[in-house]
Structure 1
Amino acid sequence: MSHEYERRHSRWYEVLLLGLPVHVLVGMPLVIGLPAIDRWGWQFWHYLPDVRFNTVLAIGLAFLASALTLRRMARFPGSQLAAHIMPTVSIAFLLAAALLLFTREGYTRQVLFGGYLASLAWFYLGYFAGRRFRKPKLALVPFGGTGQLLGTSWADLRMLSSVDMGGVRFDAVVADLRAVDMPPEWEKFLAHCTLAHIPVYHIRQVAESLSGRVQIDHLAENEFGTLLPPLFYVGAKRVMDFVAALLMLPLLVPLMLLVAVVVKIDSPGPALFLQPRIGYRARPFLMFKFRSMYHDMSGEDFTLSDDDPRITRVGRVIRKYRLDELPQIFNILKGEMSFIGPRPESASLSEWYEQDVPFFSYRHVVRPGITGWAQVNQGYAAEVGGMTTKLQYDFYYIKHFSLWLDVLVCLKTVRILFTGFGSR
C-alpha cells in the first residue's frame, strides 16, 4: 500500500528547483556572469588572470556561504528569512572583500559589488517565488495531543479525518506516538507512510520546531543523541569569541568611556559594578555591567515590576539599548562568557529556580552570553512563569547548539538594538 502515498516535493524536478542544486547550477553562474557584462561586452575577462580568478572566487564563495546560511537558518522557528537576506549576503561579501584586502590580492571592486547586488536580487527572488512552496504542509493524526498544534501560521497543518491522505501530498505526518487511544489501523497507516518515505514525527519534535522551546519535564538529548553539545563547536566558538572581542575592543572603548561619564554625572556612585553570577560548568564569576540603578537604594535580586524606582534616568536608556552590557566584553576575553548563550543568573536565583526545575543547572553546559535565544524571543523574565518559558528557550538553544543558530541570534539582536525589545 505504500505506493498510494507520495511525499510533497519528492519528484526530481521539485528536488532540483527547491534544493541547493538550483543555486549552484543556475544562480551562481548568473551572479558571477551578469556583473561582468557592460555595454562594451565581456570586458571583465580582459583583466589579468589572477584578477579574474580572485574576483570570481570571492563572489562564488560569498554566494555559497549566503545560500548555506539562509537555508540552515530557515529551519529555526521565527527566522523571518526575508528580513535576514540583506544582512546575511552583506556580511558574506564584506568578509570576502576583507580577505582580499588582507591578502593584498588583486580584484575588481565594480564586479564584486555587482555580484553582491545580483546575489541580493537572486535570493529575494527565490524567497518570494518559493515562499508558498516552502511552507511545511503537515498531516495530523487525530489522536493524543496533536490538536494543540493547530492555529500556527508557520506551517499548513491539516487534521486527517480518515485513514487516508485524500490524494494530498504532505511533507510529513505528525502523530502522538504515545497516544493510548490510537487504533491499530492508524498505526498501520503510519507504517505505510514510512514505507513511502514520508517522515512521521512525534508531536514533541514538531512542537519544539514551531515554538522554538523545549519542554522541561525531563532532560532532552540534542541532535547527536547526547546531552553534551558538540565539543568541536564549543572550542571553535571560544576562539571566535576571543578574536571578535579583540577586534571590537578598540571600537567599543570610546563608547564605554562615554557611557561611564554619563552614568557618573547622572547619579552618585561608581560607573561600573560587579555582579556575582553562575557561569560555565556552574562556576561562579563576577560579571561586569554599567550601573543603571541608584547606588544607595536596596532591593531584590531581580525586578518585579516594569516601573522600578531604583533605575536611574540614564539607566533606563542604557538598559533599553543594552549599553549596560558593554563591559561584559572583558568577561568574554577572560573566557567566562560568550557573545551568545543563556543569560547568567545569580547563585540565589539559581537555587530558587532549581526548586521547580531540578536540572536547572544543565543550562551551564555552555558559556553564558550577552545575548541569547531566549532574549531575542522573549525578552526580560524574572517571575517563575516567565523563567520557565525562558528556560525552555535556553534548552532549545543547547539542543540545537550550532553556528547557524548563533548567526540567527546575532541578526535578531541587531533588530533588538534598534527597537529596545524586551528591556526593563
Structure 2
Amino acid sequence: MTSPLVADTAHRRPGMSRRLLLLLTLTCAVGVGTVYFPQAISPLVVAALHESPGSATLVVTAIQIGYTAGIFLLGPLGDRLPHRPFLVTLLALTGVGLLAAGCAPGLAPLIAAAAVVGMTTVAAQVIGPLAAGLVAAERRGAVLGTLLSGSTGGMLLARTFGGTLGEWLGWRAPYLVAGAVALILAAVLARTLPVSLPSSRQRYPALLAEPLRLLRTEPELRRSCLYQATVFGGFSAVWTCLALLLTGPAYGLGAHAVGMLALVGAATMLCTPYAGRLVDRTGADRVNLVCLIGVLVSAAVLTAGARGGAAGTVALAGGTLLLDIAMQSGMVANQARVYALRPDARSRLNTAYMTCAYLGGSAGSWVGVRIYGRAGWQGVCALVAVLAGIALARHLVALHGRGTDARQAGDRGPGEPMPVGIGCPPSVPRLSRQPVERRVI
C-alpha cells in the first residue's frame, strides 16, 4: 500500500488554534528580533570591551551572515525533519548561543557566538511552511499575515529592547534575557506543537540543490521571487540611503532620526493580517497588483522628501509607511502563492523565495548608495520606481495571459476537456507537474 508523504494531508491536519497562532507569532517576533537587537548595543560593546567601532560592527555582520547561511543550509530541512523537534532544537541552540554571547570574555568569542545565533535563529522560516500545513487554503493568507506582523514587531521593537536594557544593565543583559526567552519558548513549543510527518526523504545534498531546481521548474515561484526581489531591493535602497539624507545638509539630523522614522512602520503590524484576509478572499494576484501600484506611489511621495523641512519630513514619513505596507502585504500574497504550489516541498520553496528576496535586498542597498552619490535622493526614488515598474510589467503580462486562457476555455467545443490550470481563479494554483514523493506504509 502506498500513501503520499505529505504533512498537510486533509485527514492528518491538526488545525491551528488561536493560542497556537499567538505562540507561533511570538516565536517569529523573538527569532527576527534576535537578528536586530545587537545593532543597538554596538556602542556599549565598544566601550566595555575597549574595541574600535569597526571591530564591534563585526558582531552584527556575523549575525546577518549566519542568518543568510541558516536560510540556505537549514531551511530545506523543514521538509526532511518533523517540525516540532526541528523547531525546538533550533530555538534551544539559539538560546544557548545567546547565553554564550552574553558571557563572552572578549570580542572574538562574541563574534563566534553571534554567527551561531544567526544561523540557528531561522525559526520564522520554519514556522511559515509549518503554519501553511496546519490551516485550510482559505485561511492561509490570514495566518501568514498574522505571522508576518509578529516578525515586523520583533524587527521594530528589538532595537528599543536592546538599547534600553543595555543602557540600564550593560551590553550583556539583552543577550542573557533573549537567551532565556528563547529557551522558554523552546520548552513551551516542545509541549504544544502538533506532531507532523516529514514530506521528503531526500538526502541532505539533494535538499540543498532542490530550491534551484524548483526555481527552474516552477514559473509561479519565479514570478513571486521577481516581485519580492525587486520590491525589497527598492525598500532596502530607501532605508540604506535615508540615513544619508537625514544626516546630510537637507535635514542636519542625527542618526537617531532614522530610528524614530522607522517606528512609523509599526502600522504594518495591523495591515498585514488584513492583507492576508484579502488574499484569501480575492487571490494573491489582485493583492500583488495593489501592492506594486502602492510602491510606485510611494516612490513619487518620497521624492518630495528631498526638499527638507517640515514638508519633506511629512513626505518621508508618509512615503516610507506606504512602502512598508506595500512591501509586507506583497510578501503575504507571494508566500500564499508559493506555499500552494507544492505542499510536499514548502520549506524548499520558501528557501528559494527568501534567498531571492535577500539577494534583491542586498543588491538594492549596494546600487542605492551608488545612485545616491551620483543623483541624490531623487535618483534613489527613481530606482524604486524602475524596480516596481519591472515587477508591475511582469504582473500585467501574467494577468493578460490568465485572461487569455480563460477566454480560450470558454470557447472550447462541446465535450472538450478544460486544459489543466486554465480558467482557475487567482487563489487556485495550477496543478504542479512535479511528482509527489511516496513511501511504502
| TM-score normalised per structure 2 | 0.26
Q: Which has the higher helix share?
A: 2
Q: Which has the higher strand share?
A: 1
Q: Return the index of the structure with the highest Cα Rg.
A: 1
| TM-score normalised per structure 1 | 0.27
More contact order relative to length (CA 8 Å, sep ≥ 6) = 2
